[in-house]
Amino acid sequence: MAAGHPRGTTSRADDNGPEERRLVFPPVRNGLDYLIDVIERLLPPVDADGRVGEVSDINLKYALLHLHAGAEVLIKARLEQEHWSLVVQDALPKNRQANGVTRAQFRRGHFKTIGMEEALDRLKQIAEINLDDHRDALTQLTETRNALQHYGLNQTAAAVQSQATAVLDFLITFIHEHLRADLPREERDQVDWALHEMRGRLGRLSDFVRGRMALVAPGLRDQVAKVVACPVCAQMAIVIGTTPIICRFCFGHWKGPRDAAIHYSYNQAKPPTYGLDQRHQHGREVSVHFCPECDEGALVFGAITAAAPERITFLCFACGTDFDQQLCTGGCGNLIRRDAEAAGTGLCPKCAERRRREEEEESLWKILDE
Ligand SMILES: [Zn+2]
Ligand SMILES: [Zn+2]
Ligand SMILES: [Zn+2]
């Protein structure tokens, strides 16, 4: 936990009554406390000689759990600013006989709260705050949290650090843009103080991610046409066309190219954070097909490489062929092999076969006509 940081205010209930120590954690401060804890846990330890060590598994685990808790608290705090009932699952009674949730019950915490997805929907519809650009990262965080609670952690420190840095970045902006202004003066001052503390630490964490990427980047530079974003850590750090496929940043790995292709297509919406390219990519349709070049089921429709981040292409994770513009000229929509293009036919085997039969028929009619 951060030292020297003002925690929940303690207050006296009543000057006449017996002294009572009460902890008051307003939601925004509470969320910030979680985030500060997350950064503390994710910073790699440095020993007396300045050697950077590994973040422990237990710290990774609690960093993810607390990051999720912090994100939920902060997003709901904004809903609460709109109206307290917006964070309650069934605020209104379903029928006249049933009871809804009263403000008094809400204050005591006697209610079922909504989940992350629902909170994002309500923010968008009711508070007109659209967080769709971050929905994937937040949903993935929820999924990782759930997996962690049921099956344990299955990710490397670097992957967690990269994922978490992106969410932390977003949350700090979110507090600034949507939460801070409407806080009571005293709470706002405390929040500003905590944000100031955080930014310095987050800088160290971002530096770590950038530093690691800088370490990895030279090894990727001469093969950028085969470098794509890792589905685990979102860094532009996996080289396709090799077996096994390993992420240079987080060491996430896949048995074969098909596994990597499927995972990539499933996770494509996640934007890279501090990769070779920092542009966000959204709304891509990504699917996996059989490759006409090597016959492996590892051809990704909708891939983006580090070589050309602005271009969405067809990329085989097995043989590494980039099928950009290599569409069959027969109008069937199939991709064609490089040698077919080189041979100048520009046709897929099916269309080539059809063309051959058509030509045969034509010459047959010619013979019959004569
Ligand atoms: Zn990775
Ligand atoms: Zn292939
Ligand atoms: Zn064709």
Domain assignments of the chain as residue spans, ordered by start: 9-216
344 C-alpha vs ligand 3 centroid, how far in Å?
A: 14
Residues 6+ apart with CB under 8 A from 222: none
Question: How many whole angstroms from 162 Cα to the centroid of ligand 2?
Answer: 30
**From CA 179, how far away is CA 238, in angstroms rounded?**
37
For residue 160, report the distance from its CA to the centre of ligand 1, in Å: 10
Residues, Cβ < 5 Å to ion ligand 2:
291, 293-294, 316, 318-319
Cα distances (angstroms) measured from residue 25 to each of 4, 28, 368: 17, 8, 94
Q: Are 230 and 200 in contact (CB under 8 A)?
A: no
- Distance (angstroms) between ligand 2 centre and the Cα of 300 equals 10
Ligand that comes closest to the CA of residue 347: 3
Q: Quote the ligand 3 centre to 327 CA distance (angstroms).
A: 8
- Helical H segments across 239-348, by residue range: 257-267, 338-342
Spacing, Cα 171 to ligand 1 middle (Å): 22
- C-alpha of residue 11 to centroid of ligand 1, in Å: 47
Q: What are the Cα distances from residue 316, in Å, to 24, 242, 285, 299?
A: 56, 11, 16, 4
- 29 contacts: CB under 8 Å, gap ≥ 6: 8, 187, 190, 191, 194
> Which residue type does 95 have?
N
34 Cβ contact list (under 8 Å, min separation 6) = 66, 67, 69, 70, 73
Q: What's residue 366's pLDDT?
A: 85
Distance CA(38)–CA(47), nearest Å, equals: 20
DSSP 1: -
* 301 CA distance to ligand 2 middle (Å): 12
Q: Is there a contact between 67 and 40 (Cβ–Cβ < 8 Å)?
A: no
Pick the closest to residue 346 from 359, 333, 322, 328 (CA basis): 328
- Give, for all 370 residues of the chain, the pLDDT tens digit: 334 444 444 444 444 445 555 555 678 888 999 999 998 898 888 788 877 788 888 998 999 999 999 999 999 999 998 998 999 887 777 777 767 888 888 888 888 889 889 999 999 999 999 998 888 888 888 888 888 888 777 778 888 888 888 888 888 889 888 988 888 888 888 888 888 777 777 777 777 778 778 888 898 999 999 999 988 777 888 999 988 898 888 777 888 999 999 989 887 644 444 333 333 344 456 789 999 889 999 999 889 999 988 888 899 999 999 988 788 888 887 888 777 665 677 888 888 889 899 999 988 888 887 7
Residue 338's contacts (CB-CB under 8 Å, 6 or more residues apart) are 293, 321, 326
